[in-house]
Amino acid sequence: MSGLEGVVAAETKLSMVDGERGELIIAGYPVEELAPQATFEETIALLWERPFERGQDPSAMTYDLLETAARQRVDPMDALRMAAATLSGKDDDEAARNLVTAFPVIVAAYWRLLHGQTPIALRPDLGHAANYLYMLSGDVPDEKRVRGLETYLNTVVDHGFNASTFTARVIASTASDFVSAVTGAIGALKGPLHGGAPGPALDMVFEIGDVARAEAVLRRKIEAGERLMGFGHRVYKVRDPRADVLAAAAETMLGRGNALYDLARGVEAVALRLLEEYKPGRRLQTNVEFYTALVLHGVGLEVPLFTPTFAISRVAGWIAHCFEQRRANRLIRPQSVYVGPRGLRWPSPAAQPVT
């Protein structure tokens, strides 16, 4: 019962995760078919069952909040959570469009404010992924970087009943609004058990630096009881299919023979061999985070932007689940088993007067 592992909480047409076969289906398409080919807008349209149209730019209130947060050096995920709560829409459709449109605007504006730069306005002629990169730097990105980012956004847009998606659906099931559902979901995503491993995975590859050192460094880590970042998964007991999609994207983006790509491949092979040696039978395989790190690094993003970029994708999945929940809503309200004492008398002999 602990952690609701194995409990079926809903039916969904949005995505299917098969941890034994290493399969991920998104809106009917195998992830390896959809992710490298569709634009992010096309993926959203599949999940929402309607074409994606851009929503409104965030209001002055959102920018004022981001400026105050930047002065206090607030963490980017906390700033995104605060700023998302300032968004709105007159109905679900408008809120959905405004949220997805605003996420890259907020993350890019906040990143620039943190670095003492002025936010850059979205360009109507660029797509969602290209706009995010443009608003971060002011340069229109080349096609290769845009494709790399779109492949990433498509790969992580939805993944069964993960913790943040479940959070969004619980909130939507109370007939609350989409902005509240998404704000709550950001809170769930920012927890280190959910959204946070690609930064440390990249740090590990950089720390190793040379594949000849991989075995010694990784043995030391495992023997010290450390976890190797980017390996192991609660659901996948075979290779995470998203790792292959992102490995291919990283190779295309960084180019064949790229030193970092070769190093990562080499580190992965040594890590898998050592995990099997030290943890036989635990079936620890490469997960999505290992190659996320490489793709996002190749796209040119810095480590503190990795989790906010995950949110820029997943917000579309959260909203798809909110729409799905709305279509056949029933309040999500499980039960608990009471295991505390009963029949106590007041005042308790143990109670101390408050002085």
Ligand X SMILES: CC(C)(COP(=O)(O)OP(=O)(O)OC[C@H]1O[C@@H](n2cnc3c(N)ncnc32)[C@H](O)[C@@H]1OP(=O)(O)O)[C@@H](O)C(=O)NCCC(=O)NCCS
233 is catalytic: yes
Question: Minimum CB separation from ligand X for residue 236, in Å?
Answer: 8
**In which element (H, E) is residue 165 found?**
helix 163-173
Place of tokens 């061999």: 273
Q: Which of 98, 101, 167, 287 binds ligand X (CB under 6 A)?
A: 287
Name 18's bridge partners. 23
Question: Minimum CB separation from ligand X for residue 232, in Å?
Answer: 2
Residues between 145 and 204 that touch ligand X (CB under 6 A): 197
Give the helix ranges, DSSP H, for 49-115: 60-71, 76-84, 92-114
76 or 198: CB nearest ligand X:
198
Question: Minimum CB separation from ligand X for residue 241, in Å?
Answer: 13
114 or 163: CB nearest ligand X:
163
Q: Does 264 bind ligand X (CB under 6 A)?
A: no
Task: Indicate which residue of 150, 289, 297, 324 is catalytic.
Answer: 289
DSSP string, 239-269: --HHHHHHHHHHHHHH-TT-HHHHHHHHHHH
112 or 233: CB nearest ligand X:
233
DSSP string, 317-332: HHHHHHHHHHHT----
232 or 241: CB nearest ligand X:
232
Q: Is the peptide bond before 124 cis (omega within 30 degrees of 0)?
A: no
Kindly tell me the number of DSSP H helices and DSSP E strands found in the chain.
15, 3
Specify the 3-state DSSP secondary structure of 30.
strand
Question: CA dist 86 to 183, 317, 325, Å?
Answer: 10, 20, 23
Task: Indicate which residue of 128, 150, 159, 233 is catalytic.
Answer: 233
Stretch that binds ligand X, among 96-104, 151-159, 286-294, 330-338 (CB under 6 A): 286-294
The residue count for binding ligand X (CB under 6 A) is 17
Residues between 202 and 261 that touch ligand X (CB under 6 A): 222, 227-234
159 is catalytic: no
Question: Minimum CB separation from ligand X for residue 83, in Å?
Answer: 26
Chain residues in the site for ligand X (CB under 6 A): 197, 222, 227-234, 275, 279, 282, 284, 287-289
Active-site positions read 233, 289
